[in-house]
Amino acid sequence: MKQLPPVYTGKWATASDAEIEQELEKGTPFTYRFRVPKEGSLKINDLIRGEVSIIGFFVCLIINLCLDTVI
């Protein structure tokens, strides 16, 4: 059986500032997400890969290997 990639449910897309602040105070892990169209795809020009089509939410994660921390 083919494994499907994880799909973001959009749980935090409509969260209030207070809800987000409460989770941050609890130390809940977080990530940065870009808002993309609900229908169709978003095309971006990646400096390495060229034109890339994105469907659905995606996560931007930068890792600083020198400090071994996530920014």
Domain residue ranges of the chain, discontinuous segments joined by +: 17-70
pTM of the model: 0.47
**The predicted structure's pLDDT at residue 16:** 92
Q: What is the pLDDT along the chain (71 residues), one digit of tens a residue?
A: 678 776 777 788 888 999 999 999 999 888 777 777 777 777 888 888 889 887 766 666 555 555 444 44
The secondary structure of residue 39, as a DSSP letter, is S
Burial class (CB in 10 A: 0-12, 13-18, 19+), 59: exposed
| C-alpha radius of gyration, the chain, whole number | 15
> For residues 41 and 55, is the Cβ–Cβ distance under 8 A?
yes
**The predicted structure's pLDDT at residue 64:** 53
